[in-house]
């Protein structure tokens, strides 16, 4: 075989071998990362059922990284519940996916096109920023069952400030339990063909729990821009129950329930 044929052939073989090796290395690295993730983040889908409110709609959906109760009448979740612990805090940057219909909801959740041209954001209930520890977790927040119509300046403003504050609480506790949603009621304005209700208020209930000192704090915030301190929106959990028709902490013993619904420990939460 002449050198004119042998040399090009060798070059092709060497380049092909390097390409194969590089891809094999990347595959092994990816696999190893996924194995570490699976071993270290075992709590992600295990929201303690004792902290789940009841579902007034009977449409309870458990995803891998959060749970929700869906309201077909209002075309959104009446609440979304999820955990947040130190292993979840990450600066990973992922491409933002499109919102998708939640096929786990019976008949499917509202179409994302309802929001188009409405003037309202598809506001996350379980924040994408709380699920940056893996792309799978991040992408799961982009289901329309996890979205609610929010004023853009509310979403990027006071609501975002509260989400950031909650992340700042994480290092001081093993795990936070968060329940959030809009106040859904009769007579709300709607958007889109599916008539997605626009909540006038949104709530969050945050629980820091250990065996001896369970603590909780509730927030109720109007769906409009605000520059006020988060402390202005602290609200008794019993009042949030009255407005939503939900019952919080009923699966806990009476002593724990009373403690969680008792006076807010401002020294512990240190609101900004």
Kindly report the CATH number assigned to the domain that includes residue 57: 3.40.570.10
| pLDDT the model gives residue 62 | 95
Same domain for 192 and 245, yes or no, is yes
Same domain for 50 and 179, yes or no, is yes
Question: Which residue range(s) make up the domain with 14?
Answer: 1-40
Mode of pairing for the β-strands spanning 121-124 and 147-150: antiparallel
Same domain for 125 and 255, yes or no, is yes
Same domain for 76 and 31, yes or no, is no
Residues 103-113 have pLDDT tens digits of 999 999 999 99
Query: Which token pair is 191?
Result: 């958007």
Same domain for 94 and 222, yes or no, is yes
Residue 128 CA: distances (Å) to CA of 93, 115, 131, 154 = 11, 18, 5, 16
Q: Indicate which residue of 63, 74, 88, 124 is catalytic.
A: 124
Same domain for 57 and 186, yes or no, is yes
- Residue 228 DSSP code: S
Residue 87 — pLDDT band, cuts 50, 70, 90?
Answer: confident
Indicate the number of domains in the chain.
2
| pLDDT the model gives residue 33 | 30
| pLDDT the model gives residue 157 | 98
Q: Is 74 a catalytic residue?
A: no
Same domain for 131 and 8, yes or no, is no
Residues 24-83 have pLDDT tens digits of 333 333 332 333 233 234 345 456 777 899 999 999 999 999 999 999 999 999 999 999
Q: Identify whether the C-beta of residue 241 lies closer than 8 Å to the C-beta of residue 54.
A: no
Same domain for 104 and 189, yes or no, is yes
Sign of the dihedral defined by the CA atoms of residues 36, 37, 39, 40, in that order: positive
Side-chain half-sphere CA neighbours of 46 within 13 A: 5
Same domain for 233 and 181, yes or no, is yes
Same domain for 23 and 139, yes or no, is no
- Residue 152 DSSP code: H
Same domain for 76 and 168, yes or no, is yes
Sign of the dihedral defined by the CA atoms of residues 71, 42, 205, 257, in that order: positive
| pLDDT the model gives residue 12 | 47
Residues 148-207 have pLDDT tens digits of 999 999 999 999 999 999 999 998 888 899 999 999 999 999 999 999 999 999 999 999
Coil, strand, or helix at residue 16?
Answer: helix
Same domain for 252 and 208, yes or no, is yes
Residues 202-226 have pLDDT tens digits of 999 999 976 668 899 999 999 999 9
Residues 98-138 have pLDDT tens digits of 999 999 999 999 999 999 999 999 999 999 999 999 999 99
Phi, psi of 133 (to 5 degrees): -75, -15
């Amino acid at each position: 075989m002449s050198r004119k044929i042998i040399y090009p052939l060798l070059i092709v073989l060497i380049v092909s071998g390097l390409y194969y090796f590089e891809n094999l290395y990347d595959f092994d690295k990816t696999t190893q990362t996924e194995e570490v993730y699976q071993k270290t983040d075992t709590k992600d889908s295990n929201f303690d059922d004792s902290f789940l409110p009841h579902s007034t709609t009977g449409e309870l959906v458990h995803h891998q990284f959060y749970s929700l109760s869906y309201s077909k009448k209002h075309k959104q979740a009446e609440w979304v519940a999820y955990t947040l612990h130190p292993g979840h805090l990450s600066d990973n940057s992922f491409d933002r996916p499109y919102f998708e219909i939640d096929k786990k909801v019976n008949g499917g959740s509202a179409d994302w096109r309802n929001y188009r041209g409405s003037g309202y954001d598809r506001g996350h209930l379980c924040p994408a920023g709380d699920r940056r520890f893996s792309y799978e977790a991040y992408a799961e927040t982009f289901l329309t069952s996890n979205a609610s119509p929010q004023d853009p300046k509310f979403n990027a403003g006071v609501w975002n400030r509260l989400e950031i504050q909650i992340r700042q609480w994480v290092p001081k506790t093993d795990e936070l339990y968060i329940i959030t949603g809009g106040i859904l009621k009769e007579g709300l304005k709607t958007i889109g063909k599916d008539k997605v209700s626009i909540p006038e208020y949104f709530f969050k209930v945050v629980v820091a729990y250990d065996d001896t000192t369970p603590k909780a704090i509730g927030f109720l915030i109007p769906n409009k821009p605000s520059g006020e301190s988060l402390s202005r929106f602290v609200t008794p959990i019993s009042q949030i129950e009255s407005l939503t028709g939900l019952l919080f902490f009923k699966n806990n013993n009476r002593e724990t329930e009373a403690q969680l619904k008792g006076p807010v420990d401002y020294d512990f939460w240190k609101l900004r």
